[in-house]
Structure 1
Amino acid sequence: MGEFELIRKHFLPVAQTVPAAALVLGPGDDCAIQRVPAQHELVFSIDTMVEGVHFPNSYPADRLAWRALAAAASDLAAMGADPVCFTLAVTLPAAEEPWLSAFSRGLAAASQAFGLALAGGDTTRGPLTVTLQVHGVVPVGQALRRDGAQAGDLICVSGTLGDAGAALDYLATDEPTPDQSAVLARYHRPRPRLALGRSLIGRASAAIDVSDGLLADLQHLLDASAVGATVEPSKIPLSPALRHLKGEQALRYALYTGDDYELCVTLAPANWQALPDREREALTVIGTVESARGLRLQGDTGAAGDTGGFDHFRRDS
């Protein structure tokens, strides 16, 4: 199958999955054209996934497509953005029909679930690599950023943490138990917190998505805001499945492993109290922002030390 036939057969149908009024021109020309509404700003982010680094060799194509778009869309959630569209670049060892059919099927499902229209992209030959750039919009000056946390703010996380990291231990399991299936679902089909991110505009002082590990990502937020924090490990939300599978080690998975794509946000106490019930139920308070730099775990004698997390260029990642 040639490159243009591949695009016509497998990716143009994906572009028709989500209608986007803001997308003036989609696939088929030299560039796509996106309309940005008045009094809004364009936000965009790009993510790359490489076989053997970000996903296992021979990973199912439909799951890869979902995970890749979810990971990219999670950055929009962390900014409080309304999702609009994405571009896709795929490098393939070969144009294999079954793989392409499964990949485009997973991509269409994720596109519809996240409200992101395929605007265009590129295909080439080489080691399996998937790169997506996502676009969204936010009202002018209202994007959630990492640099707004203030001393006294509460630190909150959405959902539960550590499940996707634990799932790595069971990817090769032929007949997973119910608990193993629960954490595997978090790895295979993450759900970026797009609606929650949008609802926190004007309420949260800072935000980041948990992609590389809670402590690592929280440290990024604290560095950007020039503040420190104390986190209470006993308050970190853990799923029953993770507790059953990992016992005393469950907390370590929640602190140091990534791929959960939950949100970590800071809010002034008054804003926390004023949150609607739905948002309060989605978040758990796990600590407090402090003026003294450094990230401390309550009960430890000092700082958290190495916050871990995924780093492409660190040998132990």
Structure 2
Amino acid sequence: MRESELLSHIANIAAHQPRQYPFVALGPGDDCALVRAPSGDPLLLTVDNVVEGRHFTPETTVDLIARKAIARSISDIAAMGARPLCALAAAVLPTDYPHARELASAIHRWGEFFHCPVVGGDVSSADGPLVISVTVVGTSPETSKDSGSWRPLTRSGARAGDELWLTGPLGASLVSGRHLRFTPRINEGLVAAHSPLVHAMMDLSDGLGRDAARMAEASGVRIVLDSSRLPRTSECRSWLGACRDGEDYELLIAASPELRTRHAGVIPAAAGLTPVPLIGPIGLVSAIDDRHPAECTIFTPDGPQDAASMGWEH
């Protein structure tokens, strides 16, 4: 079964649970789950795996493995506009793995680096590749001076008429090694979550084309990308690489045209935070109809193409 099919099945199970839980504000289908603590405070929950042979190679240093394991889950928290609070880390180590102590130390060190302390976890061993699973809990800044109009952003809020923006260039993350060294866009996400002009947001892990198609489906809209406007890293040679390479961990943002016309593509600063300049717009959001369902199309020199297949399918 393909990853997308399994995820749809899981979301369908959650949507039809016989017992409803009022504290669950958002279940499977977004970058994080959103639950309400008894106090009413929001908690964002996410979990992600890194697997040797898929997310890193046997030659990757322990330090970079640990950094990526922590940063991937924190990126999901950033995609909802929240702050990371703490993490749990679990690992399945290959039998007789010689770097266990070094790995544990590196995971804790990178948690501290990203202000997301590792507060627990689990470890086991098996005859197989190294697998690390990191759960991160995020929270709102509502109790701090930068609370303002904060709300969690989802991928389902894009509206017809919105324009699409990015927090950075895309492409060639694997060949450049950037997929191991990226920094989650925590400040950018927080500022976006305070702006009434921003309607939807997600991080780009599986490729712009595939992830933008997920935003289109979740929002019930059509997304049209312009290949000539895609920002590329210095190592990325084509618009296709920018659209499908994946593991960029930049934020894809759907915002009102006012962000461009009134603020020149810069999200105004929230209290205690700095303004966030964006790159774009790289595309538009339009309403669906009989001829144009919820989909993502990219206009290229060779004509329009379906962008949903441009990216990773696990």
> In the alignment, which residue of structure 2 is the partner of 1:240?
234
Higher helix share: 1
CA contact (8 A) 1:62 1:104 kept: no
Q: Once superposed, which parts of structure 1, at least 4 consecutive aligned residues long, lie more than 6 Å away?
A: none
Distance in 1 (alpha carbons) for counterparts of 2:276 and 2:284:
16
> In the alignment, which residue of structure 2 is the partner of 1:123?
123
> In the alignment, which residue of structure 1 is the partner of 2:107?
107
> In the alignment, which residue of structure 2 is the partner of 1:48?
49
CA contact (8 A) 1:211 1:260 kept: yes
CA deviation after TM superposition for structure 1 residue 271, in Å: 3.8
Distance in 2 (alpha carbons) for counterparts of 1:194 and 1:234:
28
Q: Cα distance 1:283–1:102, how it changes in 2: closer, same or farther (>3 A)?
A: farther
CA deviation after TM superposition for structure 1 residue 102, in Å: 3.3
> In the alignment, which residue of structure 1 is the partner of 2:280?
284
Distance in 2 (alpha carbons) for counterparts of 1:45 and 1:227:
25
> In the alignment, which residue of structure 2 is the partner of 1:196?
188
Distance in 1 (alpha carbons) for counterparts of 2:164 and 2:244:
17
Distance in 2 (alpha carbons) for counterparts of 1:214 and 1:206:
15
Distance in 1 (alpha carbons) for counterparts of 2:241 and 2:275:
25
Could you give the per-residue CA deviations for residues 92-138 of structure 1, whole angstroms, max 9, x where no partner exists?
124555x2343234323421232101110001011311001010012
Aligned-partner residue type, residue 287 of structure 1: G
Q: Cα distance 1:280–1:80, how it changes in 2: closer, same or farther (>3 A)?
A: closer
> In the alignment, which residue of structure 1 is the partner of 2:64?
63
User: Gaps (5+ residues) in structure 2?
Assistant: 1-35, 143-148
Quick check: 280-289 or 76-85, which moved more? Answer: 280-289
Could you give the per-residue CA deviations for residues 192-240 of structure 1, whole angstroms, max 9, x where no partner exists?
1011001101422011100000011111111000001111111111122
CA contact (8 A) 2:62 2:102 kept: yes
Q: Cα distance 1:304–1:66, how it changes in 2: closer, same or farther (>3 A)?
A: same
Distance in 2 (alpha carbons) for counterparts of 1:226 and 1:130:
34
Is residue 156 of structure 1 aligned with residue 165 of structure 2? yes
User: Gaps (5+ residues) in structure 1?
Assistant: 1-34, 168-182, 313-317
SS of match in other structure, 2:169: coil
Q: In structure 2, which of residues 182, 187, 202 is the aligned counterpart of residue 208 of structure 1?
A: 202
SS of match in other structure, 2:75: helix
Aligned-partner residue type, residue 218 of structure 1: A
Aligned-partner residue type, residue 154 of structure 2: R
Is residue 256 of structure 1 aligned with residue 240 of structure 2? no
> In the alignment, which residue of structure 1 is the partner of 2:135?
133
Q: Cα distance 1:306–1:287, how it changes in 2: closer, same or farther (>3 A)?
A: closer
CA contact (8 A) 1:210 1:263 kept: yes
Aligned-partner residue type, residue 61 of structure 2: P
Aligned-partner residue type, residue 189 of structure 2: G
Q: In structure 1, which of residues 221, 230, 235 is the aligned counterpart of residue 215 of structure 2?
A: 221
Distance in 1 (alpha carbons) for counterparts of 2:241 and 2:191:
28
Distance in 2 (alpha carbons) for counterparts of 1:217 and 1:190:
18
Q: How high is the TM-score relative to the length of structure 1?
A: 0.73
Could you give the per-residue CA deviations for residues 244-295 of structure 1, whole angstroms, max 9, x where no partner exists?
xx3xxx3221100111111001001124434238645243321111113322
Q: How high is the TM-score relative to the length of structure 2?
A: 0.74
CA contact (8 A) 2:171 2:235 kept: no
Distance in 1 (alpha carbons) for counterparts of 2:257 and 2:40:
29
SS of match in other structure, 1:221: helix
CA deviation after TM superposition for structure 1 residue 305, in Å: 5.0
CA deviation after TM superposition for structure 1 residue 302, in Å: 3.6
RMSD across aligned positions (CA): 2.4
Q: % of aligned pairs identical?
A: 29
Distance in 1 (alpha carbons) for counterparts of 2:193 and 2:38:
17
SS of match in other structure, 2:56: coil
CA deviation after TM superposition for structure 1 residue 72, in Å: 0.8
CA contact (8 A) 1:47 1:71 kept: yes
1:65-104 correspondence runs (5 A)? 65-94=66-95, 96=97, 99-104=99-104
Distance in 2 (alpha carbons) for counterparts of 1:96 and 1:297:
45
CA contact (8 A) 2:95 2:125 kept: yes
